[in-house]
A and B are shown apart, each in its own frame.
Chain A
Amino acid sequence: DAGVTQSPTHLIKTRGQHVTLRCSPISGHKSVSWYQQVLGQGPQFIFQYYEKEERGRGNFPDRFSARQFPNYSSELNVNALLLGDSALYLCASSLAGTEIQPQHFGDGTRLSIL
């Protein structure tokens, strides 16, 4: 079975632009979470979606938004990009999004802001 897939794998943008990152969860998984991992740090929680509804949001500005589609895939959108948005963006899926459900991570999208 395919794991969590993310696209694109790498992306270069300039300040002020916007970006859309995509994630396809493992088949049967209904929950998708997004994380930002800055170089040298652990992942920071951005969003969790379950059954197309936002269940939680981390401490990120409104420039960050996301949505989940009927097929449970998800997009993360970031507007007005800043240099500090350069990071590895990780998507994780789980069956139901509760704490007892382990998350399965994709390999991430490496976003570089020039």
Chain B
Amino acid sequence: AQSVTQPDIHITVSEGASLELRCNYSYGATPYLFWYVQSPGQGLQLLLKYFSGDTLVQGIKGFEAEFKRSQSSFNLRKPSVHWSDAAEYFCAVVAGGFKTIFGAGTRLFVKA
């Protein structure tokens, strides 16, 4: 069965420090992978997506993610975190053409 695992429930980083959020997926076919961000009381905003090709994808707000098939991972990174990045981050995989499966999310806290 398809699944997405985000091992870290929450992460705290200092403003200006680098960030890496982990995501592992389980899916037999070619995965279509996404990272979304959700601020409190709001819906989800797409940060970036991977369909094929270059395994390092760039997204909005300075985020990037690297697809590693051998590790079934799609980790999200940012070189320098801003206080406004504090939010919940969700990794997702599309299964069967229409069903998006989300991980449980990682809440990011940013300290001054």
The answer to whether B44 and A45 have CB atoms under 8 Å apart is: no
CB-CB contacts below 8 Å: A74-94 with B: 90, 92
Cα A50 to Cα B41 with chains together (Å)? 27
Instruction: State which size class the interface on B falls in.
Output: 20 to 34
Q: Does residue A102 face the partner (Cβ distance < 8 Å to B)?
A: yes
The answer to whether A100 and B43 have CB atoms under 8 Å apart is: no
Note all chain B residues with C-beta closer than 8 A to A45: 99-101
- Asked if A56 meets B98 with Cβ closer than 8 Å, knowing A42-B90, A102-B34, the reply is yes
Q: Does residue B83 face the partner (Cβ distance < 8 Å to A)?
A: no
Residue interface bits B85-108, CB-to-A below 8 A is 1, else 0: 000001010101111111111000
Q: Which residues of A contact B (CB under 8 A)?
A: 4, 33, 35, 40-45, 48, 50, 55-56, 58, 90, 92, 97-100, 102-108
